[in-house]
Chain A
């Protein structure tokens, strides 16, 4: 029996087909699904913030950031036998849940967009193409990724389920 492995907020997990990976209720965070189609090794990172280097303190949780999270996910997949040059990515999330999100010094209003941008920049740097995406807008998403087919299933409240 195949298993669907759960990824929490600021967390990442790898899996091998027929298993899948899921993360529930993505808001402004981004769910980055990566797959090596040959070995059918896959992984999912649920990042919260764009950039670890912009933080004033040393941060231990590398899965929290787009830059460090993607690198770590790729590293773990390579350890399982996946090859970077074969990897492809699909991304979802990065919503703006409220028309404004925070005021004053820490304006995170555009954090969803910035998470998406940082994700794209890091994947480009690693030469991993993004073959599908469902990002932005103002609603939450639950995602399930199947490395067997590369299907990235997206569920949202009051919307029909889509596969990208």
Chain B
């Protein structure tokens, strides 16, 4: 325990998050499929550990317009979680959820955004549920907040939280498709104290 360096600690941390992320993303897609009442195919999620400077480019550029749904995590662990989708993916999801009630191009009106918030809520809820089941910890999401803005600006929120203990950000890229190809990203950010709880609950040593 005493001989472990910060780097190793961080590596263990990311490995754990990676595994949890994989399982969580799978559950989230099942929930999405039920919500849309159609088959949603998902590729194996890509778990990526990136430098801050690489994240925006990976998503298609810092200025790419995206929708971010952000919520707090409470209960036995604390922290926050973000779900991000590209603009066209968000518009498509909103159209499906509202069953074509919104004229094309008007997806980001109040009603559309509120529908998108609900999609984010259900997807992240399913994600957190699987985390809760795996760790046997009580995890409750707080009501989500949503914004439509540049990828870099949205990402600054989780990046800052990761920045408190490192120089990298861990995100899970999930590619799924119903009629069209959709890209979504999950970012789970437990507080440092909660990290110890997650490790302990999974039977891993806490450094």
User: Which residues does A use to contact B, with CB under 8 Å?
Assistant: 8-11, 24-29, 48-49, 55-58, 60-61, 64, 95, 97-106, 108, 111, 138-142, 157
Q: Cβ of A108 and Cβ of B161 under 8 Å apart?
A: yes
Chain B residues whose CB sits within 8 angstroms of the CB of A28 once the complex forms:
156-157, 160
B68 cross-chain contacts in A, Cβ below 8 A? 97-98
Whether the Cβ atoms of B156 and A48 lie closer than 8 Å is yes
Q: How far is the CA of A56 from the CA of B192 in the complex (A)?
A: 11
Q: B75: nearest residue on chain A (CB-CB)?
A: A104
B149 at interface, CB cutoff 8 A: yes
B6 (CB) vs chain A CBs: closest residue: A57
**Which residue in B152, B157, B163, B167 is a CB contact (below 8 Å) of A101?**
B157
- A27–B191 touching, CB < 8 Å: no
A-B contact pairs, 5 of them (CB 8 A): A9-B52, A25-B150, A25-B151, A97-B68, A140-B152
Chain A residues contacting B148 (CB-CB under 8 Å) are 157
Contact (Cβ within 8 A) A104 B74 = yes
* Inter-subunit contact B145/A100 (CB<8 Å): yes
Q: CB within 8 A of B164: which of A27, A104, A106, A139?
A: A106
Q: Secondary structure at chain A's binding surface: helix, strand, loop or mixed?
A: loop
Report A-chain residues with C-beta under 8 Å of the C-beta of B155: 9, 25, 27
Number of B positions contacting A (CB below 8 A): 42
> Is the CB–CB distance between B159 and A48 below 8 Å?
yes
Separation in Å of the A111 CB from the closest CB of chain B? 6
* Contact in complex: B63, A25 (CB < 8 Å): yes
Do B193 and A157 touch across chains, with their CB atoms under 8 A apart? no
For the complex, what is the distance from the CA of A57 to the CA of B10, rounded to whole Å? Answer: 12
| B2 CB to nearest A CB, Å | 16
Does B154 interact with chain A (Cβ within 8 Å)?
Answer: yes
Does residue B78 face the partner (Cβ distance < 8 Å to A)? yes
Evaluate contact between A139 and B153: CB separation under 8 angstroms. Answer: yes
Known A10-B53, A11-B53, A105-B78; judge A97-B156 contact (CB<8 A): yes
B65 CB contacts on chain A under 8 angstroms: 157
Residue pair B62, A24 in contact (C-beta under 8 Å): yes
Give CA–CA (A101, B55) in the complex, Å: 19
In contact, B149 and A24 (Cβ under 8 angstroms): no
Contact between chains at A27 and B153 (CB < 8 Å): yes
Q: Which residues in B have their C-beta under 8 angstroms from that of A139?
A: 149, 153
CB pair B72–A103 under 8 Å, yes or no, is yes
Contact pick for A10, options B62, B70, B153, B163, CB 8 Å: B163
B163 lies within 8 A of A48 (CB): yes
Instruction: Give the residue of B79, B156, B163 whose beta carbon is less than 8 angstroms from that of A104.
Output: B79
Q: Whole-angstrom distance between the alpha carbons of A98 and B61 in the complex?
A: 21
- Cα of A11 to Cα of B6 in the assembled complex, Å: 22
Contacts of A97 in B (CB 8 A): 68, 70, 147, 149, 153-154, 156-157
- Assuming A97-B68, A98-B145, A103-B79, what are 20 further A-B pairs, CB within 8 angstroms? A9-B56, A9-B152, A10-B159, A24-B150, A25-B150, A27-B149, A27-B153, A48-B52, A61-B167, A97-B157, A101-B70, A103-B72, A103-B74, A103-B78, A104-B78, A104-B191, A108-B161, A140-B149, A140-B154, A141-B153
